[in-house]
Amino acid sequence: MSAKRRIGPFEVNPIGLGCMSLSHAYGTPPPREDAVRLLNRALDLGHDFLDTAALYGFGANETLLGEAIGHRRGEYVLASKCGMTGVEGKRVIDGRPETLLATIDESLRRLRTGVIDLYYLHRLDRKVPVEESVGALARMVEAGKVRAIGLSEVSAATLRRAHAVHPIAAVQNEYSPWSRNVEIGVLDAARELGAALVAFSPVARGFLADGVHSPDMLAPGDIRRGMPRFQPDNFPRNLELLARFRAIAAAAGCTPAQLSLGWVLSRGEHVVAIPGTTSTDHLAENFATPAGLPREALEEVDRLMTPDAVAGPRYPAATQAEIDTEEFA
């Protein structure tokens, strides 16, 4: 594990924990007692940056964190998100200030805390100027409910507009060797503005952790079933990349997951990764990622996982239309 990295006023270990999969998105969540055990184990190992959202489990994930580790609140930097929530059983993007100001109070109650360290706008609401949404988050900072502000899945242009209203401490976008769209603009813009780039899905939704060998492995309700890269017409080509990626990891003396995480962290000192997992073994494996992977291995990954080598876009067209991030042609 390399030295701590900065997110706004906080210093955290470069590998945090994305908590979504404990309540949301990847099929049936683990039993509650297993999730509680994993969260406490994460803190015991030294994970000091935990990420959740009002959306995950439509509040269930925030409730889980509050109940499982609320009594250890001083041990971790807590991040959550607003602007995309569950309304009557459906996912809704709503960046209106009045909605965001209501969401923060609901999140604080579920998380059993008086303040959220880093609060993101989860998605840009195209019907609401980002300046208005960020203005609402700025009022939360003034009220002492939030310590720092972030944005999720935005472009460099949107980041700059938001930063002009209030300093943005972090931008959370998908980033892994097979999802490199942040390199179009956000990675450099974040560095320039002094914001962290928080990489979600840094092991490619489990794929580069060598965890998905067939789309048939994915449980009913798993969001990856609808993602183009896991579809039968793209998956075989991506498996070929995985085989070569696995060989690079073996030669470097690390696991595929550690190679993916090490590559992400090598992209800049302002980059922090938040892999998610439901396995305590994988939790420990991720946290044990060596600080200095061989440069040759990282360069091999760079050459292997070019944007045009990966088969299929990140999201289906309907989902992509909701997202502000730049995409490769």
pLDDT in tens, 69-88: 999 999 999 999 999 999 98
Question: Could you tell me which of 96, 71, 74 has the C-alpha nearest to residue 83?
Answer: 96
CA distances, 141 to each of 82, 115, 125, 265 (Å): 14, 9, 21, 29
Pairing status of strand 170-174 against strand 196-200: parallel
Q: How far is CA 60 from the centre of its chain?
A: 18
Question: Could you tell me which of 317, 277, 290, 308 has the C-alpha nearest to residue 42?
Answer: 277
Average pLDDT over residues 279-285: 97
End-to-end CA distance of the chain: 35
Structure tokens at 220: 């009913």
Mean of the per-residue pLDDT values of the chain = 97
Average pLDDT over residues 36-56: 98
Exactly one of 56, 119, 120, 315 is catalytic; which is it? 56
* CATH number belonging to the domain at 5-207+264-295, selected among 3.90.550.10, 3.20.20.70, 3.40.605.10, 3.20.20.100: 3.20.20.100
Average pLDDT over residues 164-172: 98
Please count the other Cβ atoms lying within 10 Å of the Cβ belonging to residue 46.
12
Tell me whether residue 58 is exposed, middle or buried, using C-beta atoms within 10 angstroms of its C-beta: 0 to 12, 13 to 18, 19 or more.
middle
Q: Would residue 120 show up in a list of annotated catalytic residues for this protein?
A: no
Report whether 158 contacts 151 (CB < 8 A). Answer: yes
pLDDT value, residue 223: 95
Query: SS3 letters for the chain?
Result: CCCCEEECCEEECCECEECHHHCCCECCCCCHHHHHHHHHHHHHHCCCEEECCCCHHHHHHHHHHHHHHHHHHHHCEEEEEECEEEECCEEEECCCHHHHHHHHHHHHHHHCCCCEEEEEECCCCCCCCHHHHHHHHHHHHHCCCEEEEEEECCCHHHHHHHHCCCCCCEEEEECECCECHHHHCHHHHHHHHCCEEEEECCCCCCHHHCCCCCHHHCCCCEHHHHCHHHCCCCHHHHHHHHHHHHHHHHHHCCCHHHHHHHHHHCCCCCEEEECECCCHHHHHHHHCCCCCCCHHHHHHHHHHCCCCCCCCCCCCHHHHCCCCCCCCC
Sign of the CA dihedral with 261 first, then 225, 155, and 168 last: negative
Report whether 122 contacts 171 (CB < 8 A). Answer: no
pLDDT over threshold 60, residue 1 = no
Pairing status of strand 90-93 against strand 116-121: unpaired
pLDDT in tens, 17-27: 999 999 999 99
Q: Is the pTM of this model over 0.85?
A: yes
In the chain, where the domains are located: 5-207+264-295
pLDDT value, residue 78: 98
What is d(CA 170, CA 247) in angstroms, rounded to the nearest whole number? 33
pLDDT over threshold 90, residue 28 = yes
Please count the other Cβ atoms lying within 10 Å of the Cβ belonging to residue 129.
15
pLDDT value, residue 213: 94
Q: How confident is the model at residue 289 (pLDDT cuts 50, 70, 90)?
A: very high
pLDDT value, residue 2: 64
pLDDT in tens, 185-243: 999 999 999 999 999 999 999 999 999 999 999 999 999 999 999 999 999 999 999 99
CA distances, 170 to each of 166, 193, 215, 307, 328 (Å): 12, 10, 33, 24, 22
pLDDT value, residue 88: 87
Average pLDDT over residues 173-177: 98
Q: Which residue has the tokens 């959202």?
A: 53
pLDDT value, residue 292: 86
pLDDT in tens, 110-162: 999 999 999 999 999 999 999 999 999 999 999 999 999 999 999 999 999 99
